Amino acid sequence: MALIGPGGRPLTQAKPEGAAQATGAEGPYIKDASIETFAEDVLVASRAVPVIVDFWAPWCGPCKQLGPALEKAVNAAKGAVRLVKINIDENEEIARQLRIQSIPTVYAFKDGQPVDGFMGALPESQVRAFVEQLAGGHGGAGHTEEVMAMAAEAFAAGDVSAAAQAYGHILQEDPGHPGAVAGLARCYLKSGDLERARNTLQLVRPDAAGDEAVRAVEAELTLAESATKAQGDLAALRAKLDADPKDHQARYDLALALDAHGDRDGALDELLEIVRRDRKWNEEAARKHLVTLFEAMGPADPRTLSARRRLSSILFS
């Protein structure tokens, strides 16, 4: 089926000579998209914040009326909703896939699915109401908290890409936000990109450098870097300890290897045992590493609370 524009003009018709692209993306919450970027710019992005998709063409008169009204309303929402603009002349395949039969056509996406839309150039008041309803009245700190919660939920579910997208969205609105910086850095850590995790941590604004979430990720990064240096496999290290329980270096290496394999409880046990046997060994390396683990897990983590009690008992007995 041919796509039909205003006045019956086929969408595949060449645009008139000298036609200007009057509705290009303008503003921090607006971007142009193509078939190559549609999945990332719309489907993935809409899991963090609603995304409006405006299908238009340079020769379409009503598009030139609707486009500025949409952009104004989206910019006024200050990040509670995004606008993606798709030029039909350059992206006919998307139009066919979404069964766009006339322009302008507007779709709204949430969680990767279309949830609302309209055809034609609405009055500015109706456009504003459409955007405000989609945004759900969220913006500012409340919106940030909502997106942070969505990002944390995605990360916990193992969807690191969606979590990173959400944290990145917050950082576009609030550069240096400590929770978002920490969250994005943790995403890079999870994916094994230690360098990008370290670089991301440097984005935190100066007044929040000591934020608990940032310190926790810094500690996890230190642990991850230590894990890459851990020598020997678990069986070999345990064999060395069986042969000589006083081999503190072997026990320390075992602790690092256990943590690298996801056994943090086992790592805590071995480090505490070194402190119990020789708290001054290697300039208190075991105690210092315990402190890094506590920082990474956070002060309220049950493992931190338990290990701190055990450490205090050893140090002050």
Nearest to 197 by CA among 212, 173, 219: 219
In three-state secondary structure terms, 259 is: helix
CB-based contacts of 138, cutoff 8 Å, min separation 6: 80, 146
Residue (of 175, 63, 200, 69) closest to 130 by Cα position: 69
| E strand spans, the chain | 30-32, 51-56, 82-87, 105-110, 113-119
User: Which is the catalytic residue, given 30, 49, 60, 170?
Assistant: 60
CB 22 within 8 A of CB 54: no
Q: Report d(CA 63, CA 100) in Å as an integer.
A: 14
The structure tokens listed for 304 are: 């931190």
In this structure, the strands spanning 105-110 and 51-56 are antiparallel
The answer to whether 119 touches 130, Cβ cutoff 8 Å, is no
Residue 83 near residue 165, CB atoms below 8 Å:
no
Q: Catalytic: 187?
A: no
The two three-digit tokens of residue 5, written as one number: 């524009």
Nearest 5°: phi and psi at 108?
A: -115, 135
Q: Which of 312, 217, 300, 297 is nearest to 265 (CA)?
A: 297
Buried b (16+ CB within 10 A) or exposed e, 105-144: bbbbbbeeeeeeeeeebbeeeebbebbbebbeebbeeebb
Instruction: Give the list of residues 6+ apart from residue 45 with CB closer than 8 angstroms, or none.
Output: 51, 82, 84, 165, 169
User: Given 49, 51, 52, 63, which residue is catalytic?
Assistant: 63
63 flagged as catalytic? yes
Question: Catalytic amino acids?
Answer: 60, 63
